[in-house]
């Protein structure tokens, strides 16, 4: 393990709402982070038609605007992996789906199968279709699909970087903690606030969490994380009507493309503060929860949020879900919302899914690491499995990475351990951090 002393080294208790992003030419899991200063060109996020070459083969990434996906579509992706590469689907932090280990050149029938599954509605805009919606809202998921159709109809937006992220949410604040470029927060009264994704617009570190029925119990006080009270309701935005919101989001995206200096500028937060786009926004009050919230694994009414261990969806998970529902909603938190899944939680847990937030599996994540990523100085995935099984309930929120790029670092309080070689290394790193288990 790389020698570490917090916070500058591999052990870090992170409040990362304003963390710098990962460097250029990232491994494909760098969906969250990258460092502008090191960028050499256009982003290299993979797509369905433009795979990324990793150590273990090509990676293709499919976009699912709004997150709702038929299980038959997931079956197609799994089968592509089984036929040509790794029989798993990786869930990314933008709610996208990846299959990896594929041969180079990519077999012709991969694109055909993706198109047949409805994952390629546009050959020109496929990498631009990064649209998150609050997973619990069917209305917002439908609006995300509408936004996708509008995006595809505007030729100038085909050039959006693969890292440009749009978000539709409501007063729940779900998703506001993600690194979006432009978001619309629907107030539910025919209007809402259009938000610009600037580091200086973030109200504070994201610590908000959705509260499952189990967490809430009979105590209404559990609804509120006391840390949220410190968040300002003001962020960089402006009020727009609900009818105008989708067009306004795309206008922001178009203006970003027109104003960016060159293709090394991937996100709105990289524009200078003096840019006309930034100047056209002011501090606006965010309706609802300005800090942003996530949904942790657990029961939410009749539905279930099921965590996918290490974000790797396997055939056993899909088989179990197929006996419960025909579609799920992919979240950006390496989980799926299973409609009507609350009554089947034991069945889904038996298949290896994470069904409540007490599981150690729900508190650990890892980048791809060795031998899959060429930059990795250590293996991460099997070590993460070993940590979940041996450290168990004493695990804090933990993220293992194979190098200092720290791909996929979670939001909120956590410990990141760089290049650990054993559980002993990880235990030592946890011991010197200030982050504790729940
Ligand atoms: S080893 Fe991990 S953190 Fe480093 S570049 Fe590869 S995926 Fe990213």
For the stretch 312-352, pLDDT in tens is: 999 999 999 999 999 999 999 999 999 999 999 999 999 99
Rounded distance between C-alpha atoms, residue 287 and residue 228, angstroms: 14
Q: Of all helices (H) and strands (E), which one includes residue 242? A: helix 242-259
Tell whether omega for the bond before 203 is within 30 degrees of 0, i.e. cis.
no
Rounded distance between C-alpha atoms, residue 405 and residue 230, angstroms: 30
Q: What is the crossing angle of helices 138-152 and 242-259, to 10°?
A: 40
Q: Which of 44, 53, 368 to mutate to test the pocket of ligand 1 (most atoms within 8 A of CB)?
A: 368
The residue to which tokens 């993600």 are assigned: 178
pLDDT, tens only, 202-242: 433 333 334 445 544 433 333 333 334 345 677 899 999 99
Ligand 1 centre to CA of 286 (Å) is 35
Please work out whether the CB of residue 369 comes within 6 Å of at least one atom of ligand 1.
yes
Rounded distance between C-alpha atoms, residue 19 and residue 404, angstroms: 14
Tell me the backbone φ, ψ of residue 78, rounded to 5 degrees: -60, -40
- How confident is the model over 382-393, as a mean pLDDT? 90
Please work out whether the CB of residue 354 comes within 6 Å of at least one atom of ligand 1.
no
The C-alpha angle 162, 98, 29, rounded to 5 degrees, equals 60
Rounded distance between C-alpha atoms, residue 54 and residue 367, angstroms: 13
Q: What is the pLDDT of residue 395?
A: 83
Enter the tokens of residue 194. 């259009």
Q: What is the pLDDT of residue 435?
A: 62
Rounded distance between C-alpha atoms, residue 82 and residue 73, angstroms: 14
Rg value, the chain, Cα = 20
Domain boundaries, the chain: 1-40+360-438, 137-285
More confident position, 179 or 12: 179
Neighbour tally for 340: CB within 10 Å? 12
Q: Which of 403, 404, 409, 421 to mutate to test the pocket of ligand 1 (most atoms within 8 A of CB)?
A: 403
Q: What is the pLDDT of residue 23?
A: 29
- Percentage of the chain surpassing pLDDT 70? 82
Buried b / exposed e along 5-35 (16+ C-beta atoms within 10 A): ebeebbbbbbbbbebebbbbebbbbbbbbbe
More confident position, 11 or 20: 11
pLDDT, tens only, 89-141: 999 989 999 999 999 999 999 999 999 999 999 999 999 999 999 999 999 99
Enter the tokens of residue 371. 């031998």
The mean of the pLDDT values for the chain is 84
Rounded distance between C-alpha atoms, residue 25 and residue 126, angstroms: 19
Ligand 1 centre to CA of 367 (Å) is 6
Residue 417's SS3 state is: strand
Tell whether omega for the bond before 181 is within 30 degrees of 0, i.e. cis.
no
Across the beta sheet with 415-418, the strand order is 12-13, 415-418, 398-401, 364-366
Ligand 1 centre to CA of 14 (Å) is 18
Rounded distance between C-alpha atoms, residue 414 and residue 437, angstroms: 10
Do 161 and 266 touch, CB atoms closer than 8 A? Answer: yes
Please work out whether the CB of residue 402 comes within 6 Å of at least one atom of ligand 1.
yes
Query: What secondary structure letter does DSSP report for 309?
Result: G
Please work out whether the CB of residue 368 comes within 6 Å of at least one atom of ligand 1.
yes
């Amino acid at each position: 393990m790389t020698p570490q002393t917090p916070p500058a080294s591999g052990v870090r208790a992170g409040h990362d709402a304003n963390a710098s992003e990962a460097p250029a030419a990232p491994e494909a899991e760098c969906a969250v982070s990258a460092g502008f200063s090191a960028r050499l060109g256009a982003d290299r996020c993979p797509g369905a038609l433009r795979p990324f070459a990793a150590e273990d083969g090509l990676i293709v990434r499919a976009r699912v605007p709004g997150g709702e996906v038929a299980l038959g579509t997931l079956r197609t992706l799994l089968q592509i992996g089984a036929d040509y590469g790794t029989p798993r689907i990786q869930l990314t932090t933008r709610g996208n789906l990846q299959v990896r280990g594929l041969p180079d050149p990519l077999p012709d029938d991969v694109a055909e199968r993706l198109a047949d599954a409805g994952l390629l509605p546009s050959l020109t805009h496929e990498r631009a279709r990064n649209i998150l919606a609050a997973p619990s809202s069917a209305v917002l998921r439908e609006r995300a699909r509408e936004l996708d159709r509008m995006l595809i109809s505007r030729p100038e937006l085909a050039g959006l970087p693969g890292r440009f992220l749009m978000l539709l949410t409501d007063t729940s604040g779900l998703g506001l903690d993600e690194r979006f470029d432009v978001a619309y927060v629907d107030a539910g009264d025919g209007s809402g606030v259009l938000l610009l994704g600037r580091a200086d617009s973030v109200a504070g570190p994201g610590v908000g969490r959705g509260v499952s029925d189990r967490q809430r119990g009979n105590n209404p006080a559990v609804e509120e994380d006391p840390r949220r009270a410190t968040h300002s309701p003001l962020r960089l935005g402006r009020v727009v009507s609900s009818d105008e919101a989708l067009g306004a989001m795309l206008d922001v995206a178009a203006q970003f493309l027109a104003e960016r200096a060159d293709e090394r500028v991937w996100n709105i937060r990289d524009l200078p503060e003096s840019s006309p786009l930034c100047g056209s926004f002011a501090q606006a009050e965010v309706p609802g929860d300005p800090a942003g919230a996530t949904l942790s694994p657990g029961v939410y009414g009749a539905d279930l949020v099921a965590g996918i261990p290490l974000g790797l969806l396997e055939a056993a998970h899909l088989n179990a879900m197929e006996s419960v529902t025909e579609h799920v909603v992919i979240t950006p938190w390496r989980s799926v919302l299973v409609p009507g899944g609350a009554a089947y939680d034991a069945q889904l847990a038996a298949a290896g899914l994470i069904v409540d937030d007490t599981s150690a599996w729900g508190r650990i994540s890892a980048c791809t690491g060795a031998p899959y990523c060429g930059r990795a100085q250590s293996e991460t995935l099997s070590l993460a499995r070993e940590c979940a099984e041996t450290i168990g309930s004493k695990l804090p929120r933990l993220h293992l990475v194979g190098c200092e790029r720290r791909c996929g670092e979670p939001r909120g309080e956590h410990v990141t351990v760089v290049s650990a070689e054993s559980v002993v290394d990880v235990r030592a790193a946890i011991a010197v951090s200030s982050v504790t288990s729940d």
